Amino acid sequence: MGTDEILKQALKLKIEERFILVESLIKSIDEPDRKLDELWAEEAEKRLAAYREGRLEGIPMEEVFKDER
């Protein structure tokens, strides 16, 4: 069954059932990627070490979010 047929069948569902289907599909795409998480953790550790060693300057939170007000 192709995506067009699946979509036609899905559109016949009640709104609540379609919501559950959409939510399930989105969750299936948004599953954690352990390798990516490991890479981000390594990067965060490198940045923290650089900050503590004085090789990287911090930016005050107020400055980072000043345009959001």
Report the candidate in 46, 64, 63 with the shortest Cα–Cα distance to residue 55. 46
Confidence of residue 12 (pLDDT cuts 50, 70, 90): very high
Burial 52-61 (b: 16+ CB within 10 A, else e): eeeeeeeeee
pLDDT at position 64: 87
Comparing 32 with 18, the larger pLDDT belongs to 18
Contact 47, 59 (CB under 8 A): no
pLDDT at position 68: 64
pLDDT, tens only, 23-63: 999 988 877 888 989 999 999 999 999 999 999 999 888 88
Report the distance separating Cα 24 and Cα 17, nearest Å: 11
